[in-house]
Structures are given as structure tokens and as C-alpha cells.
Structure 1
């Protein structure tokens, strides 16, 4: 894996402020993973080192087995397996509309009997389950892959980049129930979709967390550069998405939102009761 250090590698870089920036925000020998969706780009763009990009479920598995030290994954993973340390201050969250996590449906919600869901993100699946249960609705959730979903005609939970493309290509054909908006209306809090998680016993968790916060800060200050680097969506959409749909903080409101999600998962039998506080670095 490519390694950046303050030794010979840094000597080859430009001096002054740029060198200081790279010392603070550069990569290490960490095995790091990140979801492959557009929403994570402001958090990983410019990382100096190898990154495994994959779907959330695959990254969670690699994190659990020790193939990765750090990963930006679905927030449900730390609720399901609270051994991990969360990087404080950084997340992908939304108060809605988030535009990339929604239920596409034709029938009214109350009449839906079955929903196709993409199991790549357990956070979105369980958020949908909680939101429906709070309305006393319990349709069958049937796992399928993203390709099968986007070719289907029934109700379907779609997430990530494929959700953005699906919505752009199906305006007027479906109703779109934006889950971040539905969450805000129900909980009056932001919903946290993804966070950075660090495995137990990884050395210098605090230093790793600081580098990831630094990278986020740098990218938000130079967001136009991040937008210009995207190739799959128009710059105008990326600007709207990053600036209007998403939040990249994990502050008090976001923490309260994540804990509220945990309590609803406990209420509806998705998770066992766990009063433990979040581990933060």
C-alpha cells in the first residue's frame, strides 16, 4: 500500500503550507475502506493512499474480519456491533430531502404489500422498517440486487448513486418517499447514514480521527474542486447534492439522531437493548 510519511516521501512534496497540509491529512499504512457512493466523496477525496471502495455491506464484512482497519460505512453497523470507535465530528447525514435514499412506489404507502430492498445498506433497510412500523405498516421486505430493483415496477427501496440515476430517469412514473425527510418529520433530528469506524486495537485512533476530520475540512473548503472531479453526475447536480442535501458533521444533533435510531430499532425488535454510550475518537 502506498505510504506517506514525514521522511523521504514528504521531501519529494512541495514545501510550505502544502507540505504541512499533507503531513496533517496524508495517508498512512492504514487499510482503509469507503463506500463507493457520491455522498462520500467530500470525505475521501484527496486521501493519499490506497482505498478500498465497495458497497457498505461488503466493507462491513471486511472491517469485521480485520481486512480493513478503518472504514466509512453504514451507521447501523456500529449499532449492531458497538465494538468500533466512531470518528467524532464526521458523518454523512441529512435533514431531508437527501435525494439518494427513497422508497419508489406507485400505490399509496398504506396499500403496499411488498417492497424490494437493496441489502447493500442495512441502515437504509432498517430505517425504512422503523418508519413503516411507526405508521403501523408492515409490508414484506424482499432482498434483491440493485440491478433487479431498478428494472422492477413494484415498490422498491433504492439507495446511493443508482437512486440518483433512477430518480432522474423516472420523473413522473413513481412517487418518491424520501427517507431523510420522513425521518425529520418523525424525529425532528438529522438522520446519520454513514460514519467512519475504527477497529479495536488499531494504534493511534485519535490521530487517525484527526486526519479524517482534517481531510473533510480541506475538501469542504475546496468543494468546487471535489465537484469538478466527479465524472458520473453533472457539476450542477453535485453542487446541489453536496450543499443542499447532505451534512458532513457528527455533532450533538447528529449523535442524538443516531441514538434515536438505535432506540427505534430496539423498540421494533431489530436490535437488542443497549444503553452503552457511543465510543468516539
Structure 2
């Protein structure tokens, strides 16, 4: 056994619950330690060698693909509406050129996707201002528009459109533009960790597969829990989970490749991405 534990990252949003449903601290392999953080934190931790395998944003994989291998059959994707990655605006989106646009600090993928969609759909470039997107923005008259993701986006659904009547679901916008699914998150492992912890890494990946299988059979339980935490209805939470895709199908991979091509084409990443899977 290695002296150092194998660190497994978990995104601290409900959208990963189905994948981690079957992983309980008391039943986990003692060699594996789970760390829950927002997407941006896990991106940095995997890149900085603080964790070994994690759910990360698709953009983080594109940025540092040479360091990672993708884990097959796992993703956070949508084929159309995603429900938790959204734009809200007080004015028409077409009027946001060079206007301040508040963007979450929690996800690089959603920010880069926003830049691509604004340019390809509307031919404009808002001024992206990174910051904390909380319920306070709804009463901030200086805020004209913002990008919200994750649990906060779900919480805001019923209130935001009262002050921000213009709304866009980015999963739906991408599908309308490309007719392809969008992959928001992937699971990836550091190549050096896979070499150092080959047997433990395999156990961790097999644990994730088994856990996801249990989670997909337990969406009713997860929806009840999510409804209590987010103060939403059971039906809206169940619908949210059912709209998400947790496999990494050939169609999802094609959508991801197109996004990676767009990132390179828009000079958001320095190199064209070459996808490499763990086997």
C-alpha cells in the first residue's frame, strides 16, 4: 500500500450526485480519499498535483490535456436544455456588446462557452467580469446581466426572471447552434498518478462506475434530497437529473471535440486538443 492516499475529487454541486451516490466514507477503500470542491478548485488541484483523479470542467481538460487521461463512460452532459448553466439579462442579449457581464468564478467551461456563443450567435463580445454570483445580484441595479451555474442557478430559477426577463439556457443554445450535445464536465486522472497508483486508480474508477449505476437507479431518492436542500419541488429536481447525461457516448465525444475545436479557433487554448482515454 502507498503511504500517500489516492485523492479523488468530487464537484460540490448536486449534478454529480448520481455518480457519487454509492460512495460512502465508511465503505470506501481506505487507500482512496474523496475531496469535494467547486469545479474551479478541482481544476486547479488536479493541475497542481494535489489530487489524482477528479471530475473537472471540460475546459480544464482542453487546457492541460497533455497531463491527463479521460475516464471513459463518465461525463456531465446535456443534449439540449441543461437547467443549471444560464444567462440572465435586464436588456436583450444583442445589446450587451462591450457591456459588463458578470460571470461566475466557479466554472471555466461555462465562461468560455459563453464567449463562443456570444460571438457565434450574436457577433458580440460583452465585457466579462469575474465575481461571485449570489442572490444579491437580483437586487443590484448596476448588474445588467450575469452567468449563473450549478446549484445557485437552480435556486434562482423562480426569482431571477422577475428582474432579468431575458434568459438563455446554454445547453439549449449550444444544441440549437450545433445540433450536438454539450459536455460540461468530465472525469480525468493525472497521467503520473495513473503510473504511481495504477492498481488503486483502477479500484477508484471501478468504484465510480458501480456508484453511478446505483445512482442512476436512485434518482427519486436524490430528487427528494435535492428538493429539500434547494427549496424546489421534487418534480423539478427529478426533471433536472433526467435531463442530464452521465455517460460519455460517441455523440457526446463529438460535441466535446467541436467545443475543443472552437476553443482553439477562438485562441482560448494554446494547442489543439488530442483526447486520450484511460484503458
TM-score (norm 1): 0.84
Q: Which whole-Å CA distance do the structure 2 matches of 1:183 and 1:51 have between them?
A: 32
Paired residue for 2:238? 239
- Unaligned stretches of 5+ residues in structure 2: 26-32
Paired residue for 2:269? 271
Q: Which whole-Å CA distance do the structure 1 matches of 2:261 and 2:138 have between them?
A: 31
- After the TM superposition, which residues 242-257 of structure 1 pair with which residues of structure 2 at under 5 Å, given as runs? 242-243=241-242, 245-257=243-255
With a CA cutoff of 8 Å and minimum separation of 6, indicate the structure with the bigger relative contact order: 2
- After the TM superposition, which residues 22-41 of structure 1 pair with which residues of structure 2 at under 5 Å, given as runs? 29-41=5-17
Q: Which whole-Å CA distance do the structure 1 matches of 2:20 and 2:88 have between them?
A: 29
Which of 78, 81, 84 matches 1:97?
81
1:163 is aligned to 2:153: yes
Secondary structure of the residue aligned to 1:249 is: coil
CA contact (8 A) 1:149 1:158 kept: no
Secondary structure of the residue aligned to 1:146 is: coil
Paired residue for 2:119? 133
Deviation at 1:116, TM superposition (A): 0.6
The size of the alignment, in residue pairs, is 253
Paired residue for 1:214? 210
Paired residue for 2:18? 42
Deviation at 1:207, TM superposition (A): 4.1
Q: Which whole-Å CA distance do the structure 2 matches of 1:133 and 1:275 have between them?
A: 21
Q: Deviations over 1:28-81 (max 9, x none)?
A: x53111111111111112313353221111111111222211111211111000
TM-score (norm 2): 0.84
Instruction: Kindly report the root-mean-square deviation, in angstroms, between the aligned alpha carbons of the 2 structures.
Output: 1.9
Paired residue for 1:72? 55
